[in-house]
Amino acid sequence: MKVLDAKFVQGFIRMCNDGWEQGWHERNGGNLSYRMKEEEAESVREELQTGGEWREIGTSVPGLAGQYFLVTGSGKYFRNVILDPEDSLAIVELDDKGERYRICWGLVNGGRPTSELPSHLMNHEVKMQATGGRHRVIYHAHTTNVIALTFVLPLKDEVFTRELWEMATECPVVFPDGVGVVGWMVPGGREIAVATSELMKKYDVAIWAHHGMFASGEDFDLTFGLMHTVEKSAEILVKQLSMCPAKLQTITTQNFRDLAVDFKVTLPERFLYEK
Ligand code: 13P
Ligand code: ZN
């Protein structure tokens, strides 16, 4: 099968375009990666090259040795992915130590995978282990309202989680584990990758102060839906803070406890503090 005919590739392209349409991907902002199933790599084998040069990932992910990933290219624009996926995307294979990668398909006009490859792969490694292999998608987006909130809220998991939960009743059901926050760091390197993957042990969402968000999920729908839900909640919070910084009423701690029972989710106690 041709790479572009594969269902996972079409889902990936659609998700890039959905993110662009949301306004989360100015210029080359944001990146996406998908950990391919063995049978998916097999199904497109006829188009995978094996002669590419091995390059350093910049970190070590031994748990992902030998696996294939579909990723966006560095400097590529999400708005162009749907028009020319072979220019914007790449399939990369990892070596048997999980320290180097090589390009097997895509980036036909040159280039390299996203500069956030260390964060993507370290998150994949953590989430693969934490979910028994179910999570396959890692998504980074420059979500406007979440970024705005990182200038006005304390950069604490407890504050962001609780404030975002209060903005929409579905939130504690969609992200019951909450969200993690990292303070401002230089993007694109191992240090921010380590900090983010540490948060991913506990959460499916990590906020990068003054930069954006990372989300992890099983498939494109769930991961995009998670990003969308968190960002929409942040938009409501921005509106509320703009209209009237002191809430007249809200979803209470007891409301959350009642919701958790009916929707059969476990909400960590540290987010259920009395305000
Ligand atoms: P890339 O173009 O290298 O993917 O970088 C975009 C980005 O959002 C960096 O955080
Ligand atoms: Zn970014």
- Determine the residue of 16, 32, 112, 114 to mutate for testing ligand 1's pocket, defined as the one with the most ligand atoms within 8 A of the Cβ atom: 114
Residues of the chain with pLDDT under 70: none
CA distance 137 to 65: 17
Q: 116 C-alpha vs ligand 2 centroid, how far in Å?
A: 8
Of 80, 78, 180, 71, whose CA–CA distance to 118 is shortest? 71
CB of 28 shorter than 6 A to ligand 1: yes
Q: Please report the pLDDT score of residue 17 as a whole number.
A: 98
Query: Model-level pTM greater than 0.85?
Result: yes
pLDDT digits (tens, 9 = 90+) for 217-259: 999 999 999 999 999 999 999 999 999 999 999 999 999 999 9
CA distance 50 to 84: 23
Q: 12 C-alpha vs ligand 1 centroid, how far in Å?
A: 17
Instruction: Collapse the DSSP code of 153 into the 3-class scheme (helix H, G, I; strand E, B; otherwise coil) and give the result.
Output: coil
Of 135, 139, 107, whose CA–CA distance to 120 is shortest? 139
116 in catalytic set: yes
Of 210, 189, 208, whose CA–CA distance to 199 is shortest? 208
Of 176, 237, 185, 238, whose CA–CA distance to 207 is shortest? 185
- Ligand 1 atom nearest 140 alpha carbon: 8
CA distance 205 to 227: 8
CB of 115 shorter than 6 A to ligand 1: yes
Q: What angle do CA 275, 203, 252 make, to 5 degrees?
A: 20
CB of 163 shorter than 6 A to ligand 1: no
- Determine the residue of 25, 31, 77, 211 to mutate for testing ligand 1's pocket, defined as the one with the most ligand atoms within 8 A of the Cβ atom: 31
Q: Please report the pLDDT score of residue 118 as a whole number.
A: 98
Question: CB burial class (10 A; 0-12, 13-18, 19+) of residue 46?
Answer: exposed
- Ligand 1 atom nearest 142 alpha carbon: 8
- Determine the residue of 28, 190, 208, 211 to mutate for testing ligand 1's pocket, defined as the one with the most ligand atoms within 8 A of the Cβ atom: 28
Ligand nearest to the CA of residue 29, numbered in listed order:
1
The residue whose CA is least distant from atom 1 of ligand 1 is: 74
Q: Please report the pLDDT score of residue 275 as a whole number.
A: 86
pLDDT digits (tens, 9 = 90+) for 97-108: 999 999 999 999
Phi and psi at 173, nearest 5°, equal -80, -35
Instruction: Tell me if 80 sits within 8 A of 122, measured CB to CB.
Output: no
Q: Please report the pLDDT score of residue 98 as a whole number.
A: 98
CB of 80 shorter than 6 A to ligand 1: no
